[in-house]
Amino acid sequence: MRVLSAVLALAAVAGPTMAADPANWAQPMQPFRIADNLYYVGTAGLTSLLITTPKGHILIDGAVPVAAKGIKANIAALGFKPADVKILLNSHAHFDHSGGLAELKADTGAKMFASAGDKAALETGTYPGWEDRKHLDFAPVKVDRVLKDGDKVELGGVTLTAHLTPGHSAGCTTWTFPLKVDGKVRQVIYHCSTSVALNRLVSKDKGPQYPGIVGDYLATFAKLKAMKADVFLAPHAESFRLADKRARLGTGPNPFVDPSELAAAVASSERDFNKALAKQQEAAR
């Protein structure tokens, strides 16, 4: 019920430009291989990525709290052991992407790595600036290693790079890593998110979601515009047309390869941000 009420609250505030479709956040989905050692183990609406290595595995994002069991089942269904997950990573500390992490950590024994900006939110299980909205809370998860911008996470010959892209959350972390697709090494980006969603950018009475949030969004848009990627992935399945690409897997060149997608997603997100900022500034007058 907690998930449902949070879902309804988000849906009410999000509006038509938000990519999320809360109805499918907890809906189970058959796991599958995107390419090489990268697998999708999330729900129909919320991404969870498994990167396998000979020394154990890396799992990025835990979806909503009720999804943790399904994520574990998905890992097992692919033939991997949940106990072999050694490192847990997070795009950002919001309940729809970090909600399952505490249970996944307890059950796998993995270490949790996260940015300084999201550490407090993860360790208290709250949405900073909305501490009064209890339906946005999630089970707290202890952070074992704090990541800085540009830090590398290495395991079994796999290297992921953390790029701090704050705004959507104070410690929003975008991940990049190489991946062999159709015999060629491609660059993958797991875009943290740059939507405004529930965030107060400006507000007369409550102040911004967190100090400096607008400047953070602007710097993040500039940073993402300077980045290149061949494979674009994101925490919400709709944001990278997961269902469509999955349906086309195996019918020709890998549909997850689309070097134009990052720039298009960032441009569209920036337009939405500017509209939301203007609207909030008007309302705060």
Catalog residues that contact Zn ion under the rule CB under 5 A: 94
CA 74/CA 84 separation, integer angstroms: 14
CB of 11 to Zn ion, least distance (A): 14
Q: How far is the CB of 242 from Zn ion (least distance, A)?
A: 17
Q: How far is the CB of 117 from Zn ion (least distance, A)?
A: 13
CB of 219 to Zn ion, least distance (A): 18
Residue (121 or 188) nearer to Zn ion, CB = 121
Residue nearest to Zn ion (CB): 94
Token pair for residue 136?
């946005």
Cβ-based nearer residue to Zn ion, 82 or 117: 117
Q: What are the backbone dihedrals phi and psi of residue 196, each rounded to the nearest 5 degrees, phi first?
A: -80, -40
CA atoms within 13 A on the CB side of 282: 6
Between residues 57 and 94, which has the closer beta carbon with respect to Zn ion? 94
Q: For residues 94 and 105, which CB has a smaller minimum distance to Zn ion in the complex?
A: 94
Element (H, E) at 114: strand 111-115
Count of CB atoms situated within 10 Å of the CB of 69 = 14
Q: Which is nearer to Zn ion, 72 or 94 (CB)?
A: 94
Q: What are the DSSP calls for 143-208, one per residue?
A: -SEEE-TT-EEEETTEEEEEEE--SSSTT-EEEEEEEEETTEEEEEEE------TT--SS-TTT--
Of the candidates 60, 72, 64, the residue with the CA atom closest to the CA atom of residue 20? 64
Q: Shortest approach of Zn ion to residue 158 CB, angstroms? A: 26
